Structure 1
């Protein structure tokens, strides 16, 4: 009997389909392997971005700042660039003795700005344009340490070297501000804590604490500890419009208005020194005389 060789079209198509399926399976297997390698490579890149030593190309490609980065010309060449790319929880570290000119904004929550090796860095901005602070705080939970800030901007209102806007919150540690046109530190409708900070020799107030546009009680908060506001052309500190103030172990001497002027606010002042201020140590009005408690250990002259 002669063997019969099948030439049935259907069976031929089935064979071709089977071979095609095998080829596709092989390609899928190869693709999966490639994708796994790409995935591993992506993980490595991601981890490098999280490292304090992330280089500029990785950081730029990610679109977000690494968790800690030095503004040293390698990761980022400028503070403004680093802040513009920062993500929530980032730490920006400046080189000790470095100087940075311009206006800067802390936009994201949980941002920290510090200086390497326990040193200090300088931020400065002098302009004829109005309403330009050197450093503006817009996020919440921002921490700023070891900065010297020099400011000059032509304006009457909102003339501040360092400004925390409505809804923001920040802690400043060991920072010094001098404004040749306005006030040093300011908060309007936000929450700030200043520890070991200085605002002396300003054209207006050393510190300004204002509530938000409603002026309701508690619409702003200011905690001032071991701070110095001396030799300013207006008040050492001006607190008004619903702010809750807690001042402890501060020095407010030699200001050309009051050591501290309190208007429509509440809180407490304790263990502080207010001396040789031109119009007096403390002036409290519009309810502040009732709702701000001045402890007996406050030294006034």
Structure 2
């Protein structure tokens, strides 16, 4: 393949990611075999030698030095802006490892009429299936999670946001959105729906983009023939990150619904986190404190929003 219409801009946002880069970069060749691609890395002021490691391992990559920790969405936007001509954007976390032929399968799915985003079947570092498909956030789905737990609720479309039925991951499907570690976005979808919303800083930015893409007529397509490994981060273990994730869910809902509905969504989230906080789960305790703080709900997320547990 040749020509800008067939070229993939691989955009990776790094932040103190040096230990992850060797395996990521090693996976790009097999994962994108047969495709024209170029790598763009947007670095959010890493202090661990990430930029130097990138220059050593990927000397032809374009490196965008953000100069500060500007957040995930800002890094993606800057990376795409710095990319050469391309027909699609492959957004990758540094802790993703592409399976052989993943890019070809995603690109084939992206060519299905009406598709703007294609996502692969992901497993974790131990080979366990990651539930990547998501339904649109709703009050009933938050309550279902609170009362039944995410995995049980996710078996029922009305009650769970995360699709947790293993059988649904055996074949291709259209999903409202998908976790944002590995996304192939068509150039047309990017042109009409970008930029990613930088005010989220971290978490919910991929949800916002996919739902806006759907509003514009572009679906997100789950593609099980495309395989990748995602080592995953520590949002569920870090009180500060979990609080930010929870707050951003409220902010996202508020962007798409009225005040009354948003109040109901906030109350449902508070109930869910409070039920877990009573079990002394520190991330949920941090989320409860954030949800009942008017200042935290009003503020624009940023590095200051990721706070240590009290």
User: TM-score, structure 2 length as denominator?
Assistant: 0.24
Which protein has the bigger strand share? 1
Which protein has the bigger helix share? 2
Higher relative contact order (CA 8 A, sep 6+): 2
User: TM-score, structure 1 length as denominator?
Assistant: 0.25
Q: Which has the larger radius of gyration?
A: 1
